[in-house]
């Protein structure tokens, strides 16, 4: 009898022995083969529709809420190149996820544009089709630092859209947030370049941390209003264990909406798609109706308003671990199957077993606890699996 052992922890996690789940590929108790039909659902009835793929664990920024400099310093041990999935391995795994119903792919990091020749992977993923023969919704999240020079190549390779992380327009505030003295003007030029080549509609994500960049909310709203770019405000989240999260540094999204509404009236809009994490608000005209020319904002309230009930996304780390929640305590290693000679059917069956066993609802459970009381367990770092 042969078996494949799939570790269930980040390889770099400190302390404790890794727990494992064993998939038998032959003999008694062998893993049941699953033929994908595009209708895979988890233990709470949530379909698999969205796959976030981290292509690197490295970043050239040191934002305090993600990769604080005191942790990710010159001595920090990143994954060796041999541990990273190749573009061909990523594409092969993605093909099986798509067969199970994934329709949207988001490339993340770390900072994904640090991955050499990323446009080759984009081209491979752009060639994939859903069981209905439709192209995937292929997008990428970036800090924008390399976007100006990369935008055209990414678009030509088949990337459709980008989301840019930008936590303020004031140059001093932005340099403080990224902690590597990177100028905001370079990110803004990257956004302009992406818009010029048609990588849109572009979204800009701003993590709001009380006491740090709240005064940037209105300037950001004014700057992007009417540009065709959707600005989204994200509550400062308790992802991982290195960002020093505190509840009193969270500015609830409701207060962000109220602050903007006082100057630029807003009306609530319907969700753009099932499982959408952002609550949408459109800028209103004098009649109090949404004016599409003025655009919209979004708020992502993972701390104060859980959206676990509709979550339809899985996350694939750069070395092949599948995580079922942004706040996950463990992952499921598919790299072992890939490099151990498993067939596509066996890989698809493993993905089915992982997703069907999913019952994650971290934010809902956390909401039942007193303020500042976190959920137990070591969570995966956001820099490792992307936001």
Instruction: Give the pLDDT confidence of 43-89 residue by residue, as tens digits.
Output: 889 999 999 999 999 999 998 878 889 889 999 999 999 999 999 99
Q: What is the pLDDT of residue 327?
A: 72
15 found inside a domain: no
CB 318 within 8 A of CB 300: no
Bridge-based pairing of strands 104-108 and 332-333 is unpaired
3-state secondary structure the chain: CCEEEEECCCCCCCCCCCCEEEEECCCCCECCCCCCCCCCECCCCCECCEEEEECCCCCCCCCCCCCCCCCCCCCCCCCCHHHCCCHHHHHHHHHHHHHCCCCEEEEECCCHHHCCCHHHHHHHHHCCECCCCCECEEEEEECCCCHHHHHHHHHHHCCCEEEEECCCCCHHHHHHHHCCCCCHHHHHHHHHHHHHHCCCCCEEEEEEECCCCHHHHHHHHHHHCCCCCEEEEEECCCCCCCCCCCHHHECCHHHHHHHHHHHCCEEECCCCCCCCCCEEEEEECCCCCECCCCCEEEEECCCCCCCHHHCCEEEECCCCEEECCCCCCCCEECHHHHHCCCCHHHHHHHHHHHHHCCCCCHHHHHCCCCCCCCCCCCCCCHHHHCC
Which residues, other chains included, contact 75 with Cβ-Cβ below 8 Å and sequence gap of 6+?
Answer: none
Q: What is the pLDDT of residue 363?
A: 60
146 found inside a domain: yes
Q: Round to whole Å and give the CA distance between 226 and 220.
A: 12
26 found inside a domain: no
CA dihedral sign of residues 203, 209, 213, 215: positive
Q: What is the pLDDT of residue 26?
A: 57
Q: What residues pair up with 4 in beta bridges, in sequence order? A: 23
Residue 53 is encoded by which pair of tokens?
């793929």
Indicate the number of domains in the chain.
1
Q: What is the pLDDT of residue 29?
A: 56
Q: Does residue 69 have a cis bond before it (omega within 30 degrees)? A: no
Q: Round to whole Å and give the CA distance between 286 and 342.
A: 61
355 found inside a domain: yes
Instruction: Give the pLDDT confidence of 101-149 residue by residue, as tens digits.
Output: 999 999 999 999 999 999 999 999 999 999 999 999 999 999 999 999 9
Residue 203 is encoded by which pair of tokens?
């979204």
CA torsion, ordered 38, 40, 44, 48, to nearest 10 deg: -60
Q: What is the pLDDT of residue 1?
A: 37
- Residue 334 sits in which domain range? 38-340+351-385
Residue 11 is encoded by which pair of tokens?
């390889």
Q: What is the pLDDT of residue 28?
A: 53
Which residues, other chains included, contact 210 with Cβ-Cβ below 8 Å and sequence gap of 6+?
Answer: 236, 248, 249, 250, 251
Q: Which of 125, 102, 122 is nearest to 113 (CA)?
A: 122
Residue 198 is encoded by which pair of tokens?
């048609």
Q: What is the CATH number of the domain that holds 263?
A: 3.20.20.70
Residue 231 is encoded by which pair of tokens?
């600005």
Q: Round to whole Å and give the CA distance between 9 and 268.
A: 40
175 found inside a domain: yes
Bridge-based pairing of strands 203-208 and 230-235 is parallel
Neighbours of 139 (CB within 10 A): 19
Q: Which of 326, 55, 57, 71 is nearest to 179 (CA)?
A: 71
Q: Give how far the C-alpha of residue 205 lies from the chain's centroid of Cα atoms, to the nearest Å.
A: 11
CB 44 within 8 A of CB 359: yes
16 found inside a domain: no
357 found inside a domain: yes
As averages over each run of 10 residues, the pLDDT of the chain (387 residues) reads 39 36 51 86 93 96 87 92 96 98 96 98 98 96 98 98 96 92 97 97 94 93 97 79 66 95 97 80 96 96 75 93 82 94 95 90 58 50 58
């Amino acid at each position: 009898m042969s078996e494949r052992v799939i570790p269930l922890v980040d390889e770099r996690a400190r302390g404790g022995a890794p727990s494992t789940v064993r998939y038998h590929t032959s003999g008694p108790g062998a893993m049941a083969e699953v033929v994908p039909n595009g209708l895979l659902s988890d233990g709470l009835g949530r379909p698999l529709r969205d796959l976030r793929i981290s292509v690197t664990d490295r970043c050239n920024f040191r934002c305090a809420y993600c990769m604080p400099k005191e942790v990710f310093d010159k001595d920090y041990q990143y994954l060796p190149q041999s541990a990273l999935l190749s573009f061909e391995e990523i594409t092969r795994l993605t093909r099986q996820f798509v067969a199970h119903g994934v329709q949207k792919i988001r490339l993340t990091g770390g900072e994904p544009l640090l991955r050499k020749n990323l446009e080759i992977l984009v081209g491979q993923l752009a060639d994939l089709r859903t069981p209905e023969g439709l192209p995937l919704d292929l997008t990428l999240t970036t800090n924008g630092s390399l976007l100006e020079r990369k935008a055209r190549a990414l678009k030509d390779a088949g990337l459709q859209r980008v989301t840019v992380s930008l936590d303020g327009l004031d140059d001093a505030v932005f340099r403080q947030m990224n902690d590597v003295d990177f100028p905001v003007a370079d990110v803004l030029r990257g956004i302009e370049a992406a818009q010029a080549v048609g990588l849109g509609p572009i979204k800009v994500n701003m993590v709001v941390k009380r006491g740090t960049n709240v005064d940037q909310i209105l300037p950001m709203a004014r700057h992007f209003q009417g540009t065709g770019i959707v600005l989204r405000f994200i509550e400062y989240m308790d992802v991982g264990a290195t960002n020093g999260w505190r509840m009193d540094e969270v500015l609830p999204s409701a207060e962000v909406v109220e602050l903007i509404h006082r100057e630029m009236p807003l009306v609530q809009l319907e969700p753009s798609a099932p499982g959408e994490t952002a609550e949408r608000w459109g800028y209103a005209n004098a009649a109090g109706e949404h004016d599409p020319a003025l655009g919209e904002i979004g708020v992502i309230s993972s701390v104060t308003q859980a959206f676990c009930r509709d979550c339809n996304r899985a996350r694939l780390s750069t070395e092949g671990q599948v995580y079922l929640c942004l706040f996950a305590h463990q992952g499921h290693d598919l790299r072992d199957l890939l490099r151990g000679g498993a067939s596509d059917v066996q890989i698809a069956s493993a993905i089915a077993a992982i997703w069907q066993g999913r019952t994650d609802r971290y934010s809902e459970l956390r909401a039942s606890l007193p303020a500042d009381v976190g959920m137990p367990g070591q969570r995966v770092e956001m820099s490792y699996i992307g936001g």
